[in-house]
């Protein structure tokens, strides 16, 4: 028989100590959602089952003890660190869930300069690790816009990517080794080695699991030299996304590795670069690192763009200034809440990827379908997007949309606006051969297309869930759809 809510709380208090178990209703409400439901949250409306408690975890052993207890009694758990999730991964959709908060596990364990790697517990905010490294002249190379909010466990769990990815790679290229706890309480450690061929790369079972397979407790990432004095900035305006995609492709195919390579369409470009975009698309690059390589990268890019007379260069200073104000900390989140309450105007994003032969079509078809098919298109105040992470074989597209919330209750907003917009983007991207999710994770709202996304490879993902979480206690409804 399943345990009552009261019994769950009492028993978890015995395991970790009462001071680590929070049952305050306001805290539970906040812990039942993430930024996917930010509109309802801002209006104080919480419609999902509230968790039984938030458990403030203090050590790997506590994670193990709590998970073993939950597994024995089939209690659902939602892992959480920085709480900057945007896709519903933190939503507590199962009654009497426990939120497993690892933000208190926040020690930097080691900065190992000789082997160019740093080890941190899951609750270390990326910005804290980054600042500790910069003080010694090094960097993680990882710089998502949420750097001040996101923590190491969540960053690995979501397969996050930073703004300098074209040079340093995404989190999966940075993780050397990990420690994690399996749902039955087993502590597992993947050792730190530069490379090995000892079977499949088991790091990838953990990286990107979104709390649906295991709990990440410790992470070792690569580090790099930090040389901001060598940064070179390039900015251009141009008429068409198609030309921009061609240039991005050429830069990648020629082997250049700028840290930033971005292409904004006219709508998105105008909102970011009002002072010079002139209603056109905007393309920006940053070259960094060793001065010789930075210079060669910058010169190579400038030479490629010069082959396209439709591109006009803008002052580099404009790009540098914009870039230095890009990250989101708690103050921007708070300002956004005030703004949404005041205006009723919401902003959301959906990020996808595709190879070079389909990405422009994905972009055009999505925009066209939203404009012509979405029944509330008149409420949209901005619709556009940008490519911000390029690879030799393709790039991503980050759709951005703002809308006025009209004639609906706060809890109806996602079904009236966000979900139908997501649907068009996911359907169209998958139909054209791309991936419906480039870096935010599947969460609980893109889960409807998870099987279509993976096709016959779904059997592999399904096998992992059966093997590691046979009782289905880990973040139910995330990555894996709830079977009716």
Ligand X SMILES: Cc1cc2nc3c(=O)[nH]c(=O)nc-3n(C[C@H](O)[C@H](O)[C@H](O)COP(=O)(O)OP(=O)(O)OC[C@H]3O[C@@H](n4cnc5c(N)ncnc54)[C@H](O)[C@@H]3O)c2cc1C
Q: Interface with ligand X by CB under 6 A: which residues?
A: 34-35, 78-86, 89-90, 102, 122, 144-146, 149-151, 153-155, 157-158, 160-161, 210-211, 215-216, 328, 439-440, 475, 478
Looking at the Cβ atoms of 286 and 314, the one nearer to ligand X is 286
Looking at the Cβ atoms of 20 and 280, the one nearer to ligand X is 20
Interior/surface letters 352-377, b for 16+ CB within 10 angstroms, e for the rest:
bbbbbebbbbbbebbbebbeeebebe
Catalytic pick among 39, 236, 398, 401: 398
Q: How far is CA 173 from CA 149, 190, 220, 403, 431, in A?
A: 21, 15, 12, 36, 28
Q: How far is the CB of 473 from ligand X (least distance, A)?
A: 13
Report phi then psi at 389, rounded to 5. -145, 115
| 483 DSSP 8-state letter | P
The reply, when asked if residue 195 is annotated as ligand binding, is no
Looking at the Cβ atoms of 107 and 136, the one nearer to ligand X is 107
The reply, when asked if residue 216 is annotated as ligand binding, is yes
Q: How far is the CB of 286 from ligand X (least distance, A)?
A: 15
The reply, when asked if residue 214 is annotated as ligand binding, is yes
What is the DSSP pairing of strand 53-56 with strand 98-101?
A: parallel
Question: What CA–CA distance (Å, rounded) separates 230 from 240?
Answer: 31
Exposure of 466 by Cβ count < 10 A (0-12 exposed, 13-18 middle, 19+ buried)? exposed
- CB-CB neighbours of 147 under 10 Å: 25
Q: Are 12 and 69 in contact (CB under 8 A)?
A: yes
Q: How far is the CB of 448 from ligand X (least distance, A)?
A: 17
Q: Are 388 and 396 in contact (CB under 8 A)?
A: yes
- Position with the least CB separation from ligand X: 154
Q: Are 178 and 184 in contact (CB under 8 A)?
A: no
Looking at the Cβ atoms of 160 and 422, the one nearer to ligand X is 160
Looking at the Cβ atoms of 305 and 474, the one nearer to ligand X is 474
The reply, when asked if residue 281 is annotated as ligand binding, is no
Q: How far is the CB of 472 from ligand X (least distance, A)?
A: 15
In the chain the first and final C-alpha atoms are separated, in Å, by 22
The reply, when asked if residue 421 is annotated as ligand binding, is no
Strands (E), 93-164: 98-101, 108-112, 117-121, 138-139
Nearest CA-CA partner of 21 in 95, 104, 145, 107: 104
Return the CA Rg of the chain: 22
Q: How far is the CB of 396 from ligand X (least distance, A)?
A: 10
Examine the residue annotation and report whether 398 is marked as an active-site residue of this protein. yes
The reply, when asked if residue 212 is annotated as ligand binding, is yes
The reply, when asked if residue 213 is annotated as ligand binding, is yes
The reply, when asked if residue 248 is annotated as ligand binding, is no
Looking at the Cβ atoms of 249 and 438, the one nearer to ligand X is 438
Q: Are 132 and 140 in contact (CB under 8 A)?
A: no
Question: What CA–CA distance (Å, rounded) separates 437 from 144?
Answer: 16
Q: How far is the CB of 183 from ligand X (least distance, A)?
A: 11
Residue stretches of the annotated binding site for FAD: 210-216
Q: What positions carry a catalytic annotation?
A: 398
Residue stretches of the annotated binding site for substrate: 337
């Amino acid at each position: 028989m399943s345990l009552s809510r009261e019994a769950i709380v009492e028993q978890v208090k015995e395991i970790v100590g009462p001071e680590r178990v929070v049952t305050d209703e306001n805290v539970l409400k906040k812990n039942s959602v993430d930024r996917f439901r930010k509109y309802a949250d801002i209006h104080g409306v919480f419609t999902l089952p509230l968790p039984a408690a938030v458990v403030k975890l203090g050590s790997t052993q506590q994670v193990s003890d709590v998970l073993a207890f939950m597994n024995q009694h089939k209690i659902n758990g939602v892992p959480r660190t920085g709480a900057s999730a945007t896709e519903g991964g933190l939503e507590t959709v199962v009654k009497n869930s426990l939120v497993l908060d690892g933000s208190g596990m926040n020690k930097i364990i080691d900065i190992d300069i000789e082997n160019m790697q740093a080890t941190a517990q899951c609750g270390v905010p990326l910005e804290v690790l980054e600042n500790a490294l910069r003080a010694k002249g090094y960097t993680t190379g990882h710089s998502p816009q949420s750097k001040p909010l996101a923590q190491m466990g969540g960053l690995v769990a979501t397969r996050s990517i930073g703004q300098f990815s074209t040079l340093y790679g995404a989190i999966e290229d940075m993780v050397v080794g990990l420690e994690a706890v399996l749902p039955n309480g087993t502590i597992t450690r993947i050792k730190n080695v530069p490379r090995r061929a000892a079977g499949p790369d088991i790091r990838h079972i953990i990286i990107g699991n979104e709390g649906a397979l295991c709990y990440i407790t410790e992470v070792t990432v690569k580090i790099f030299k930090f040389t901001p004095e060598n940064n070179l900035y390039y900015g251009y305006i141009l008429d068409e996304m198609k030309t921009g995609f061609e240039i991005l492709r050429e830069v990648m195919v020629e082997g250049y590795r700028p840290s930033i390579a971005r292409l904004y369409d006219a709508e998105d470009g105008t909102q970011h670069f009002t002072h010079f975009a002139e209603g056109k698309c905007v393309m920006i690059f940053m070259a960094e690192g060793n001065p010789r390589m930075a210079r060669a990268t910058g010169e190579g890019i400038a030479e490629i763009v010069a082959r396209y007379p439709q591109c006009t260069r803008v002052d580099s200073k404009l790009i540098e200034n914009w870039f230095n104000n890009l990250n989101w900390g708690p103050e921007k989140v708070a300002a956004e809440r005030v703004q949404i309450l005041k205006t009723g105007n919401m902003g959301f994003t959906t990020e996808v990827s595709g190879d070079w032969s389909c990405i422009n079509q994905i972009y055009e078809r999505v925009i066209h379908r939203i404009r012509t098919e979405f029944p509330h298109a008149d409420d949209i105040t901005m619709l556009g997007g940008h490519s911000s992470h390029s690879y030799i074989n393709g790039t991503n597209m980050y759709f951005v949309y703002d809308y006025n919330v009209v004639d609906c209750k706060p809890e109806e907003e996602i079904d009236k606006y966000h979900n139908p917009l997501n649907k068009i983007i996911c359907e169209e991207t998958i139909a054209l051969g791309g991936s419906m999710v480039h870096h935010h994770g599947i969460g609980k709202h893109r889960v409807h297309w998870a099987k279509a996304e993976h096709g016959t490879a779904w059997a592999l993902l399904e096998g992992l869930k059966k093997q590691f979480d046979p009782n289905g206690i880990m973040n139910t409804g995330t990555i894996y759809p709830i079977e009716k």
